[in-house]
Amino acid sequence: MAFSRYFLVTLISAFVVGGFAQLTPTFYNETCPNVTSIVRGVIEGALQTDPRITASLLRLHFHDCFVIGCDGSLLLDNTATIESEKEAGGNNNSVRGFEVVDDIKTALENACPGTVSCADILAIAAEESVNLSSGPSWTVRLGRRDSLIANRTLANENLPSPFLTLDQLKANFLKQGLNTTDLVALSGGHTFGRAQCRFFSTRLYDFNSTGSPDPSLNTTLLQTLRQICPQGGNDSAVTNLDQSTPDVFDKKYFSNLLLENGVLQTDQELYSTSGADTAPIVDAYSANQTAFFNSFVVSMIKMGNIGVLTATQGEIRSNCRKVNGDISRLSSGGLVAEY
């Protein structure tokens, strides 16, 4: 079901706090009126050869916001003075889509030089990616500026591991100002995309050092995943996070959890943890896709406000991989990513 871009304006207003009040959907109306269509066009082109790119772009926004805020710091490459977040444990050889972001930036610089921030590109790309995958649309509030720094240490600390317990996961999100409903709704982003064996293989053979598979993993899915991820096999091999509709943004992620078909431990924990207050939310979203979409939109806008730079803070990078004026950029090591 597609939603109007202005469908949730009144709902959104309930979350206007701090820097969020400084963001506005009309920020580029005069300076770059076609910004959204330009971003969408580049993503549509990338989809022709990479059906996974929409999930990857959504994940870039998430992994950017969870470190020092939604400021494009994730996009910075290594330099003599910057330790790139791309090489943090939760990102290295995992996050992908940087070349598409480069293409979007190039298109926007050609249309509106020095105007659209890389942080806003990630926010718009996330919304367009979800919508292009049959998910909801929403009004993206804009006006973020780009950081002059990255923080690999915080990336290692703040990005949620796929091996967390539910309590640890809730604490991780709460640290970012996101509540339990936000956690469940945003986890629904795993309704498309891929995961590498290294992020779930312990569930298949030696869960919590028991010598047995995770008891909350459906036995049929267990056999499927063991074929993809044999012991001693390629840890970088990938499988669909949603085995039923892998490239469609829908409620199947939640339906899968009811059947113990969550691929990642942190996904299945939302439903299989005894007494979990997240289980009723999973039930609700599994039964009602509109309820999931509405909650996802609100939580995405809320997440997109984390630690934003506005006004004269930061800068508008001309190249998303480096701060302006930096001529000493080093190679990021040719990251090979899967998601």
Cα 227 to Cα 150, 219, 232, 323: the distances in Å are 38, 13, 12, 44
Binding residue positions for substrate = 160
DSSP state, residue 216: T
Q: Among candidates 49, 65, 88, 104, which has minimal Cα distance to 332?
A: 88
CA distance 317 to 82: 15
Q: Which of 40, 52, 61, 63 is catalytic?
A: 63
Kindly state the DSSP code that residue 194 receives in the 8-state scheme.
Answer: E
Distance CA 27, CA 35 (A): 10
CA-to-CA distance for 128 and 3, rounded, in angstroms? Answer: 12
Residue 266 amino acid letter: T
DSSP letters, 249-263, are -STHHHHHHHTT--S
Question: What span, in angstroms and rounded, lies between the C-alpha atoms of 150 and 310?
Answer: 17
Give the DSSP H/E element, type plus range, for residue 139: none
Q: Is 63 a catalytic residue?
A: yes
> How far, in whole angstroms, is CA 218 from its chain's centroid?
26
Binding site members: 64, 67, 69, 71, 73, 85, 160, 190-191, 242, 245, 250
Which residues line the annotated binding site for heme b? 190
Largest CA distance in the chain: 61
Residue 18's region, left for phi above 0, alpha for psi from -120 to 50, else beta, is: left
Q: Residues marked as binding for Ca(2+)? A: 64, 67, 69, 71, 73, 85, 191, 242, 245, 250
Q: Label the pairing between strands 194-196 and 238-240.
A: antiparallel
| Active-site annotation, residues | 63
